[in-house]
Amino acid sequence: MDKKIIKEKMFERLKRYVAIDTQSDPASSTYPSTKTQKDFAQKLLKELKEIGVKNSFMDKYSYVFGKIDSNCGSKRKIAFIAHMDTAPAYSGKNVRVKIHRNYRGGKINIGRGVYIDEKNCPALSEHIGDDILTASGNSLLGADNKAGIAIIMTLAEYLLKNKEKIKYPNFRILFTPDEEIGKGVEKLDLKKLDAEFGYTLDGDLKGTIEKETFNADGVSIEVKGKSVHPGSAKNQMANAVRIISDIISSWPENMMPENTENYDGFIMFDEIKGDVSYAKASGIVREHDIKKLKYMENLLLKIAEEKRYKYPLADIKLEFKEQYRNMKEVIDKYPEVMEKLISAIKNVGIDYKIKPVRGGTDGSRLSFMGLPTPNIFTGGYNYHGPYEWISLDSMLKSFEVSLKLLEKWTE
């Protein structure tokens, strides 16, 4: 394997992919939520065919599938998965990639006053000598998750060009839309993928692998108030804006995302709209332990009940909606999925770290749909904003781990 060629292939692919704006839109009623994702899917399908993945296709929901048959008679069917959309949290338009060759420490100037160094991003200290990719200060980079797509595409090309050098099982490829807004596999027909186990390439720093995510619910609060002239408001007005703000401010500080880490759960309120007569707030509930998730929800229900007594003229409604569940429950039933991944990482010669995802991946829902799917690092960090970066050298390690992992599945 010429590692320099592999690195440059992935760099050129990632640079080309991130130039296409594929932000998903949570307010959209279409699937995928943005037309640009469909356009990108068509480009990826064309590229799969060009590199020789003859059995590749796209369905009406813009899922892109690729199938490469085993070259050694293996019956195992293993899927690698990445998502096409970028987060709606920050601009994904006009992404211009900067490469910072042979990082020697100190400040990396991204652009427009945005920079990273070992102080505001300690993880950089572990990447001395690496080639670091960033955007230019006015957009996210989009390595989440186009780095995963670049790795998988390069892997498929490598397999087809080196059939005599490495054994591999039946290899399945899946590129999904709308992962960032929690709808990545909402319309997926698993029969079309035809796999028994999967791996998302949607992780972060080198060596990190993940088999568990948050349990996740959405939460909404509605307050119907009573609007009267403020000059005669005593004992008559119920100000919905004030009441909903009171509910939110009553939530404990130690269970907000900015004060939590590792296995800590939280509730985050991310939007409020309304006026005196009506207000609505929405947010998310996140916990790795389902019992603790329900504890937080019951605590919020108790707060809402207290406010009903405090504001008897208002009508307060609180609703929770299930989003996804911790995939650990499923993956632990199939130990070989993680055992082979850990063995592959060790064979490549890097340290591994199993950590919880403080979020969700397509693997969360895929696992409960019947496809146990842990998550593999790609080498990026600071996703969803202008500080995002990725190590090209860590992408190479992800490629090597993925290649070795496929070989493990033929044993």
Q: Are residues 301 and 163 in the same domain?
A: no
- What are the tens digits of pLDDT across the range 314-352? 999 999 999 899 999 999 999 999 999 999 999 999 999
pLDDT digits (tens, 9 = 90+) for 257-313: 999 999 999 999 999 999 999 999 999 999 999 999 999 999 999 999 999 999 999
Same domain, 302 and 334: no
Do residues 14 and 117 share a domain? yes
Count: domains in the chain: 2
Residue 92's pLDDT is 97
CA–CA gap between residue 188 and residue 362 (Å, rounded): 11
pLDDT of 376 strictly over 90? yes
The answer to whether residues 141 and 250 belong to one domain is no
Same domain assignment for residues 57 and 117: yes
Alpha-helical segments (H) within 106-193? 143-161, 190-193
Residues 192 and 224 in one domain: no
Residue 96: pLDDT band by 50, 70, 90 thresholds?
very high
Residue 179 among the catalytic residues: yes
* Catalytic position from the list 47, 85, 210, 388: 85
Catalytic-labelled residue, pool 179, 196, 210, 362 = 179
Tell me the CA end-to-end span of the chain in Å, nearest whole number: 21
**86: which DSSP letter?**
B
Task: Examine the fold and report which residue of 261, 289, 324 is the final residue of a domain before the chain moves on.
Answer: 324
Amino acid present at 223: V
| Alpha helical stretches, state H, 288-333 | 290-310, 328-331
Regarding whether 221 and 196 lie in a shared domain, the answer is no
Range of the domain at 24: 3-212+326-408
For 218, half-sphere exposure in the C-beta direction (CA atoms, 13 angstrom radius) is 9
> Domain holding 394: CATH number?
3.40.630.10
Residues 231 and 175 in one domain: no
The answer to whether residues 331 and 400 belong to one domain is yes
- CATH number where 263 lies: 3.30.70.360
By C-alpha distance, which of 107, 84, 106 is closest to 34? 84
Bridge partners for 200 per DSSP:
81, 375
Q: What is the pLDDT of residue 360?
A: 81
pLDDT value, residue 272: 96
| Sign of the torsion angle spanned by Cα atoms 105, 109, 113, 116 | negative
Give the span between the Cα atoms of 317 and 319, in whole angstroms.
Answer: 7
Tell me: do 220 and 123 sit in the same domain: no
In order of 229, 296, 308, the CA distances from 235 in angstroms are 12, 32, 15
Does residue 297 sit in the same domain as residue 366? no
Of 324, 349, 380, the domain-final residue: 324
Percent of the chain at pLDDT > 90 equals 97
Catalytic, 329? Answer no
**Residue where a domain stops, chosen among 292, 324, 356:** 324
- Tell me the pLDDT band of 75, cut-offs 50, 70 and 90: very high
Domain shared by 262 and 160, yes or no: no
